[in-house]
Structure formats: structure tokens, C-alpha cells
């Protein structure tokens, strides 16, 4: 089991990419949804949110094989559901709230977050709608 489930030591401030990889590696394979949703938005030493190019590069490094550009209308609600893939998202425009395991978390333009396959959740858009990039990593891709 190793370090799974234990946060990495913050020794990676000099190498933000290595630190981010350690964060991902420290997550349990079947982490709870709330554990995933609480991830930090920024890498150590990073002062601004990740841009689209950096995000797509990071997705490739983490084994996400598919990237989708998606929009949801203002104030729309996607009822409770789960996916058969791990998802890693970057909000490009607007805002959305993810509700999972009784917790709500709002994500705005520039924010990123991850969610494991099988995590039941609700997606609720803000008054301006939302546009995001979503990386998909299927269980056989790990």
C-alpha cells in the first residue's frame, strides 16, 4: 500500500511537476469523492491558475487519453450520476458546483479538480453557465 492515502511531503516546492505527481500517487486507488474534490487548485510555487496548454500536457503525463471541451447552460443541473472513468477538469469560463457525499464545492475559471470513476455527484452551473475541459482516464488506461 505504501504512501497511498497519506499526503506527500511538501519537499517538491523546487519541482512542482514532481510534487503534483506525488499528490496523485498518494491518493488511494478508490479514494472517496470528497478526498478528490479537496485537492489544491495550484501547484506549489505556482501563482496563477493552470492554462489550457499546461492542463492538456499534465493530462497526458497522468494517462488521460481523451479530452473533451464541454459547455453547460446557465443555471443548468445535471442530476446525480457517476462515470466509468476518472475525470480531471479545468474550468475555462463561468462556474460550476459539484455536490458529492453531502459536500458542495464551487469551481471557477482557472480551477482544476479530479474525480474518480464511480463517484456519484451532481453538477450545478452558475448564472453564466460553464465551459470546461475534461480529461477522461478509463480503468484499463492506468
Q: What is the pLDDT of residue 32?
A: 57
pLDDT at 2 over 50: no
Q: What is the pLDDT of residue 140?
A: 75
pLDDT in tens, 62-75: 999 899 999 999 99
Which H helix or E strand runs over 31?
none
SS3 125: strand
Please report the domains of the chain, with CATH numbers, ordered by start residue.
Answer: 30-141 (2.60.120.10)
More confident residue, 124 or 34: 124
SS3 1: coil
pLDDT at 116 over 80: yes
- What is the C-alpha to C-alpha distance for residues 122 and 89, in angstroms, rounded to an integer? 15
pLDDT in tens, 86-102: 999 999 999 999 999 99
8 Å CB contact between 86 and 31: no
pTM over 0.85: no
Amino acid at each position: 500500500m505504501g504512501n497511498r492515502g497519506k499526503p506527500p511531503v511538501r519537499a517538491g516546492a523546487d519541482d512542482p511537476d514532481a510534487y503534483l505527481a506525488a499528490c496523485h500517487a498518494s491518493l488511494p486507488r478508490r479514494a472517496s469523492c470528497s478526498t478528490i474534490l479537496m485537492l489544491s487548485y495550484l501547484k506549489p510555487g505556482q501563482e496563477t491558475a493552470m492554462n489550457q496548454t499546461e492542463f492538456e500536457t499534465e493530462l497526458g503525463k497522468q494517462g488521460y487519453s481523451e479530452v473533451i471541451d464541454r459547455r453547460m447552460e446557465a443555471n443548468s443541473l445535471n442530476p446525480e450520476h457517476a462515470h466509468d472513468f476518472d475525470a480531471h477538469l479545468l474550468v475555462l469560463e463561468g462556474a460550476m458546483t459539484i455536490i458529492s457525499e453531502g459536500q458542495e464545492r464551487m469551481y471557477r475559471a482557472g480551477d482544476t479538480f479530479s474525480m474518480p470513476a464511480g463517484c456519484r455527484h451532481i453538477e450545478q452551473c452558475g448564472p453564466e453557465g460553464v465551459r470546461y475541459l475534461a480529461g477522461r482516464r478509463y480503468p484499463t488506461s492506468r
